Amino acid sequence: MLFKFLLNIKNDIFFLSLLLTFFISFFFSIFLTVKIKNFLKKKSLKFFVKKYYFSKIEHKSSTPSMGGIAIIFSSLISVILFLEWNFISLNILFTFCAFALIGFLDDIFKIYKHSSGGVKVKTKLLMQIFVSFIICYLYFYCSNTKKVSVNSLYFFIPLYSYKMDLGSAFYKIFFILFIIGYANSTNLTDGIDELLSRLSIVTLISFLLILYILLYKIEYFHLESSSVRNLIIFTLAILASIIGFLWFNSNPAEIFMGDTGSLSIGGYIAIISLYMKCEILAILLGLIFFIESLSVILQVLYFKISKGKRIFLMSPLHHHFQKKKFSDSKIVTRFTIISCIISVSILILLAKKI
């Protein structure tokens, strides 16, 4: 009886912390976005449009960027207040902040150079590889849960309860590529007003539902219950921060999140997917991100092989549709609908499996 009473109190405190996490992150995000927007406008620090971009988005050159700073700090406020700290939560925090810092440096270089080209691609990639190696080391060798280290060598496909042992070396290579790939995919998706914000909201809500549905099925995650609760709080904080930012990022955008926001969001989704052992689910939930990234890869490869020919009018894919005279709002809405359909389908299949 006493145990049940104490358990109910613990659950009530947890749900209260979730409620506070959401509202604190949301309102701080709005507050910080306004402050950052006004500061950037005052200092004439703005978004730079590439020369080959079409006239449709040239007016955006007067729009301030680096709004991702608001997402980062408003998320961190709730995280610092409500997280139960352990090695897993620290590694997730490090991933989130490290990719935000890489994005911030890129945004700063764009402003300093007065162009759309920030840090050199090779330099940025080397920074991402270096950070991913540190994350990989922390993941495998500094975990406070033996289960994580043991089961991290497996590659799970949860919908079919199938696991494929990649072996330590191959999984670590996959681990690093997965984080870098996801971070850059979200980065490439951030090219139209509110596109990445909306898609990220759908993806993060899906992760929240999966975490909540399986909160008491800890064997699925191979994590301790405290770590699962941490994932819920951290994800909710970022979700609320993006919703607050979307208030000003909706079409026509008053501010862009820049690489600071887009890289950190991708890095975060990647690392929690690896801890949850749902890498395949993460790719499916973020399928639009990877399609955008794939369109760039295919465009570059085909351009080189065919000596100047292109598959798309312009890449990433959303720019192809812009060239096709689709309105930005129609592109964003349709991409969001596709993402919702994928997410709902996955959640239904997952619920059926449970």
Maximum mean pLDDT: which of 65-69, 210-214, 285-289, 321-325: 285-289
Asked whether residue 52 carries a pLDDT value surpassing 60, the answer given is: no
Average pLDDT over residues 48-76: 71
Average pLDDT over residues 136-150: 68
pLDDT digits over 261-319, tens only?
999 999 999 999 998 888 888 999 999 999 999 999 999 999 888 888 899 889 899 99
Asked whether residue 116 carries a pLDDT value surpassing 80, the answer given is: no
Q: pLDDT-based confidence at 143, cuts 50/70/90?
A: low
Provide the 10 A C-beta neighbour count for residue 214: 18
What local confidence, expressed as pLDDT, does residue 238 receive?
A: 98
CA 197 from chain centre, in angstroms, equals 10
Q: pLDDT-based confidence at 155, cuts 50/70/90?
A: low
Asked whether residue 198 carries a pLDDT value surpassing 70, the answer given is: yes
Asked whether residue 168 carries a pLDDT value surpassing 60, the answer given is: yes
